[in-house]
Amino acid sequence: MVWSLLCCAWLDAPLEVHAVTPVQVHRGEVVTVHGQGFEAPIAIELASGDLQHTAQPVIDDPRTLRFEVPRIPPGSWDLVVRNDREAVRTALDILPDPEEVPCARGYQANTELSLPEGVAVVVRFFPDGRQERVRTLVSDIEAIEYSRRDGPCSAIHLRRMDGTRLLFEDGEKPLDERATTLGAYLGKLVEGLEGRGALRAPIREEPVQLGLRGLTTGGQPTDR
């Protein structure tokens, strides 16, 4: 009887947020919210000015829930936890994606690219056996950037509409032909090709053999 009363009191507790960890987070990372009154139905909203996004909450218990930060612009956001009776607001800072330095990676990578699914996936293989998959929608890609740094290093980046850049491939030999082929396949602007300016080519409707290391059209990584 006593346990029943305690249980019901816990479930009927008002919605409160006591702490958020971490309070500074990158997109795609998991945020844990500590408080009380976390029971379904419950919603997570992220608001900044006129922008508003939602995230999918996972309730661990009435005092803890977590969610994955969606791909929203970096900056200060209001984190709103809402149920059907009330809403609680707290602060959350979204950090810019860390910029990778070409030719200084501690991993090998393949790239899966599928126009039918509209997704580009960079699959990274770390020395300790870990794997990381970085997904981006082809529709979110604004342009292909080619760069050649001092010394034997060139790189291809996918520049997203929000200004962030995803390292697609790097190497110790020129990758300008790869960048041109990638731009032709995706129908995206290619920037940074010395002497040729920016190039744009139409999207290819038929299947093509790209011949790019680490790049396939069927969604499966190639060997590097």
Residue 166 resides in a domain: yes
Check whether residue 65 and residue 125 sit in a common domain. no
Residue 156 resides in a domain: yes
Residue 215 has pLDDT above 50, yes or no: no
Residue 221 resides in a domain: no
Percent of the chain with pLDDT over 90: 34
Check whether residue 163 and residue 74 sit in a common domain. no
Residue 117 resides in a domain: yes
Please state the rounded mean pLDDT for residues 57-64: 96
Which range, of 7-21, 55-69, 88-102, 201-215, averages the lowest pLDDT?
Answer: 201-215
Q: How far is it, in rounded angstroms, from Cα 185 to Cα 123?
A: 20
Check whether residue 212 and residue 134 sit in a common domain. yes
Please state the rounded mean pLDDT for residues 35-56: 94
Residue 57 resides in a domain: yes
Q: How far is it, in rounded angstroms, from Cα 65 to Cα 170?
A: 39
Check whether residue 77 and residue 126 sit in a common domain. no
Check whether residue 63 and residue 121 sit in a common domain. no
Residue 194 has pLDDT above 60, yes or no: no
Say if CB 2 and CB 28 are below 8 A apart.
no
Helix (H) or strand (E) holding 6: helix 2-11
Number of domains in the chain: 2
pLDDT score of 196: 43
Here the CATH number for the domain that contains residue 70 is: 2.60.40.10
pLDDT score of 105: 67
Say if CB 140 and CB 124 are below 8 A apart.
no
Residue 5 resides in a domain: no
Where a domain ends, among 95, 130, 145? 95
Please state the rounded mean pLDDT for residues 194-220: 38
Residue-wise pLDDT tens digits, 91-138: 999 988 776 677 776 667 777 777 777 888 877 777 788 777 777 888
Residue 59 resides in a domain: yes
Residue-wise pLDDT tens digits, 75-96: 999 999 999 999 999 999 998 8
Q: Please state the φ and ψ torsions of residue 53, each to the nearest 5 degrees.
A: -135, 160
Q: Which domain holds residue 38?
A: 19-95
